[in-house]
C-alpha cells in the first residue's frame, strides 16, 4: 500500500494560517471609516484610497442589504460594486474598462471596496489585483442586475446623514421641495442627426440599440410656416392662440427621463430627496406620486411647500399640499406653487359657497356627478350648468350673450376635490407664492451637477442600467454636499450668518 504524504497539505494549511487577517476578514466601509487603524499598511499609504474612504464611508454600509454570499465560491458583493461605480462617477470614467484599469492602478481601492481578493505573496499588496477584479463586461452586466432597493438604501442613507449634520444648526430638510424631470438621450443611431434613419421619429419602430428607450418630446416651439409672409399674417385665433402663419415644432428624442425631488437650504446648498427614471414617453405628472411617497417616507413628514413647472398643473397635486401647518384651528395651509396652465375657456372664479361662476358672474348649479376612470387618477367630477336654464328655465336671457346660450347655456365640469378650486384660487401674485416658486432653482442646480456627471448622454443601452446609474449619480451629489458641510463646520462655519 502506497504511503500518503501529508507534507503538501500541511504546507498549504500553514500558508493559509499565516495570511494577514485583512486578507480574509474585511470590515465594511462604514466600520473602516470609524476605525482607520484597521486598515492594512498599503491602504494607509494610498492617498487615493484614503480620499475615497472619507467620501464613501459615512454611508450605512454596515446595514447594506447584501445578497447571500455563501452559495458561490467567490461572489462579488453588491456593496463592492456600488462603491466601485461611485468611484467611476467621481473620476468621470466613461467606460467599465477604464474603471477596471483605474482600480488596477490603485489596488488599495480593490481591497477597500470589498472585492474578493486572490492571495499572491509576491505582490506588494499581498494579492493579485488583476485576478481579484471582475472583467469589464461583468462589471457592465452587474450594473444592470444590481437590485434597485440596494441603491435606494444608499440614497436614503445619504439623506439621513445630511439631516443629522444640519440638525444642530437648526435646519430641517424638506420644508420646501422642488420637483422636475431631466431628459436622457439614448445611445442609439436614431438620435444621431448625421446618421441616415428612415422614419426616425416613428414610435412603433423600436431602436435596435436600446430595447427599453421610448420616443418623447423635450419641448415645443413655434416656427414660421414655409411660404408665408409676416406682413400678411391672419389674426390670431382666440381658442388656440397661435399665429396662423406658424407651425409647432418639437424636439424629439429616443430615451428616458429622470424625475428628482430636491430641497434647497439657504447658505448650505441643494440636496436630493428622491429620484425615479422612466421611459421618455411618460408624462411629468406620472412622477409625482412615487417621488412624493418616497420623500415623505424618508423625511417622516409631508413637505408643506413645493415648486413645480406648468406640466404638473393637476388638481391632486394642489390637494396633496393643502394641509394645515400646525394643529391650531386657524392654522395656515401649505401649497404647491405651480403656474396656471391655460387649457381653453376662461379662468374660473367661485362663489362663497364653492360653486363656479359663469362669465356673467352667476353661480352655476350642479346637475350631476360621475366617476371618471379615464384619467391617471380616478376621481369624481361634477357637471355645472347655466343657472338661467336649470333646474328651471327662466325668461331671462344671458347678460353677456354667451355663444352657447342658443344651445342651452354654458357648462363646466370640475373634479369634486378641493384641489380643483385651489388650482384657480391660488394667489400667484403674492410674495409668498413667488418666494416658494423660486425654489425651483434647486432642481435646476441638481440637474446641472448631474449633467456634469454624465446623466444626459450615458453610454449604456439598457433601461435598468441607466436607472441604476442615475441613482448612483444622485448619491454622489449628496455625498459631495455632505463633505462640503463637514468641511465648512471644520473651518468654523457651522452656523450660517444672519440675513442682512
Q: How far apart are CA 339 and CA 263, in angstroms?
A: 19
Long-range contacts of 497-500 (CB under 8 A, 24+ apart): 497/267
pLDDT of residue 25: 66
Q: Does a structural domain hold residue 5?
A: no
Residues 360 and 335 in one domain: no
Last residue of a domain, one of 146, 180, 205: 146
299-322 pLDDT per residue, tens: 999 999 999 999 999 999 999 999
The residue length of the chain stands at 500
Mean pLDDT across the stretch 336-359? 82
Cβ neighbours of 402 (radius 10 Å): 17
Mean pLDDT across the stretch 470-481? 98
Contact 323, 333 (CB under 8 A): yes
* Cα–Cα distances in angstroms (integers) from residue 356 to residues 62, 348, 382, 392, in the given order: 57, 6, 11, 18
Q: Does a structural domain hold residue 139?
A: yes
Q: How far apart are CA 383 and CA 376, in angstroms?
A: 20
Q: How far apart are CA 113 and CA 397, in angstroms?
A: 79
Mean pLDDT across the stretch 104-131? 90
Residue-number span of the structural domain to which 394 is assigned? 349-425
pLDDT of residue 15: 46
Q: Does a structural domain hold residue 460?
A: yes
Q: How far apart are CA 358 and CA 412, in angstroms?
A: 9
Which of these, 195, 184, 217, lies nearest to 460 by C-alpha position?
A: 184
Q: Is 466 helix (H, G, I), strand (E, B) or coil?
A: helix
- The DSSP string of 241-301 is -S-TTEEEEEEEEEEEEEEEEEEEETTTEEEEEEEEEEETTS-GGGGHHHHHHHHHHHHSS
pLDDT of residue 344: 53
Q: How far apart are CA 77 and CA 110, in angstroms?
A: 12
Q: What is the count of structural domains for the chain?
A: 3
pLDDT of residue 247: 47
181-197 pLDDT per residue, tens: 999 999 999 998 888 88
Q: Does a structural domain hold residue 499?
A: no
Last residue of a domain, one of 399, 425, 451: 425
Exposed/middle/buried for residue 108 (C-beta within 10 Å: 0-12, 13-18, 19+) = buried
CA 189 to chain centre: 26
Return the CA Rg of the chain: 30
Q: Does a structural domain hold residue 398?
A: yes
Residues 353 and 264 in one domain: no
Residues 16 and 123 in one domain: yes
Contact 243, 222 (CB under 8 A): yes
Mean pLDDT across the stretch 1-6? 50
Residues 332 and 446 in one domain: yes
Q: Does a structural domain hold residue 235?
A: no
Mean pLDDT across the stretch 95-122? 93
Residues 334 and 256 in one domain: yes
Residues 327 and 461 in one domain: yes
Our CA angle for 487, 259, 284, nearest 5°, is 150
Last residue of a domain, one of 103, 131, 146: 146
Residues 190 and 318 in one domain: yes
- Which cell goes with 497? 450668518
Q: For the whole model, what pTM was predicted? A: 0.87
Backbone angles phi, psi at 177, to 5 degrees: -115, 160
Residues 141 and 167 in one domain: no
Q: Name the β-bridge partners of 265.
A: 269
Q: In the 3-class helix/strand/coil scheme, how is 85-110 assigned residue by residue?
A: HHHHHHHCCCCHHHHHHHHHHCHHHH
Q: Does a structural domain hold residue 108?
A: yes
Q: Does a structural domain hold residue 237?
A: no
Residues 121 and 173 in one domain: no
pLDDT at 228 > cutoff 60? no
Contact 282, 257 (CB under 8 A): yes
HSE toward the beta carbon, residue 264, CA cutoff 13 A? 19
Exposed/middle/buried for residue 202 (C-beta within 10 Å: 0-12, 13-18, 19+) = exposed
Residues 31 and 160 in one domain: no
Residues 311 and 162 in one domain: yes
Residues 384 and 453 in one domain: no
pLDDT at 220 > cutoff 80? no
232-263 pLDDT per residue, tens: 555 555 544 555 554 445 688 999 999 999 99
Q: How far apart are CA 279 and CA 283, in angstroms?
A: 10
CA 224 to chain centre: 36
Amino acid at each position: 500500500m502506497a504511503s500518503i504524504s501529508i507534507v503538501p497539505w500541511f504546507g498549504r494549511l500553514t500558508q493559509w494560517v499565516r495570511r494577514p487577517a485583512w486578507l480574509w476578514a474585511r470590515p465594511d466601509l462604514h466600520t473602516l471609516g470609524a476605525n482607520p487603524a484597521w486598515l492594512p499598511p498599503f491602504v494607509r499609504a494610498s492617498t487615493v484610497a484614503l480620499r475615497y474612504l472619507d467620501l464613501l464611508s459615512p454611508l450605512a454600509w454596515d446595514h447594506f442589504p447584501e445578497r447571500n454570499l455563501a452559495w458561490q465560491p467567490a461572489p462579488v458583493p453588491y456593496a463592492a460594486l456600488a462603491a466601485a461605480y461611485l468611484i467611476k462617477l467621481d473620476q468621470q470614467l466613461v467606460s467599465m474598462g477604464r474603471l477596471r484599469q483605474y482600480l488596477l492602478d490603485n489596488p488599495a481601492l480593490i481591497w477597500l471596496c470589498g472585492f474578493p481578493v486572490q492571495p499572491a505573496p509576491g505582490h506588494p499588496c499581498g494579492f493579485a489585483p488583476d485576478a481579484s477584479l471582475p472583467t469589464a463586461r461583468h462589471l457592465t452586466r452587474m450594473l444592470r442586475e444590481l437590485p434597485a432597493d440596494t441603491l435606494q438604501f444608499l440614497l436614503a442613507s445619504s439623506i439621513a446623514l445630511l439631516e443629522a449634520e444640519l440638525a444642530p444648526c437648526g435646519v430641517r430638510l424638506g420644508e420646501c421641495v422642488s420637483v422636475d424631470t431631466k431628459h436622457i438621450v439614448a445611445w442609439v443611431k436614431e438620435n444621431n442627426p448625421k446618421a441616415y434613419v428612415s422614419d426616425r421619429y416613428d414610435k412603433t419602430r423600436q431602436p435596435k440599440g436600446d430595447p427599453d428607450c421610448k420616443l418623447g418630446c423635450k419641448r415645443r416651439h413655434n416656427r414660421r410656416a414655409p411660404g408665408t409672409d409676416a406682413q400678411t399674417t391672419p389674426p390670431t385665433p382666440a381658442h388656440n392662440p397661435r399665429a396662423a402663419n406658424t407651425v409647432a415644432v418639437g424636439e424629439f428624442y429616443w430615451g428616458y427621463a429622470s424625475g428628482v425631488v430636491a430641497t434647497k437650504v439657504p447658505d448650505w446648498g441643494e440636496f436630493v430627496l428622491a429620484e425615479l427614471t422612466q421611459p421618455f414617453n411618460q408624462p411629468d405628472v406620472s412622477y409625482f406620486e412615487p417621488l412624493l411617497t418616497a420623500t415623505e417616507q424618508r423625511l417622516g413628514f409631508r413637505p408643506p411647500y413645493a415648486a413645480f413647472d406648468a406640466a404638473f398643473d393637476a388638481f391632486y397635486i394642489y390637494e396633496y399640499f393643502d394641509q394645515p401647518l400646525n394643529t391650531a384651528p386657524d392654522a395656515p395651509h401649505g401649497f404647491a406653487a405651480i403656474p396656471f396652465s391655460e387649457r381653453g375657456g376662461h379662468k374660473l372664479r367661485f362663489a362663497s359657497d364653492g360653486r363656479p361662476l359663469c362669465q356673467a358672474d352667476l353661480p352655476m348649479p350642479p346637475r350631476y356627478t360621475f366617476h371618471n376612470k379615464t384619467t391617471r387618477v380616478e376621481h369624481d367630477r361634477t357637471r355645472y350648468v347655466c343657472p338661467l336654464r336649470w333646474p328651471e328655465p327662466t325668461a331671462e336671457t344671458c347678460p353677456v350673450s354667451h355663444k352657447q346660450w342658443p344651445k342651452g347655456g354654458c357648462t363646466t365640469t370640475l373634479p369634486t376635490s378641493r384641489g380643483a378650486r385651489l388650482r384657480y384660487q391660488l394667489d400667484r401674485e403674492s410674495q409668498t407664492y413667488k418666494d416658494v416658486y423660486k425654489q425651483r432653482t434647486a432642481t435646476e442646480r441638481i440637474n446641472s451637477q448631474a449633467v456634469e456627471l454624465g446623466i444626459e448622454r450615458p453610454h449604456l443601452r439598457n433601461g435598468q442600467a441607466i436607472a441604476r446609474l442615475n441613482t448612483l449619480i444622485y448619491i454622489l451629489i449628496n455625498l459631495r454636499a455632505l463633505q462640503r458641510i463637514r468641511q465648512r463646520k471644520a473651518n468654523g462655519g457651522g452656523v450660517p450668518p444672519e440675513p442682512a
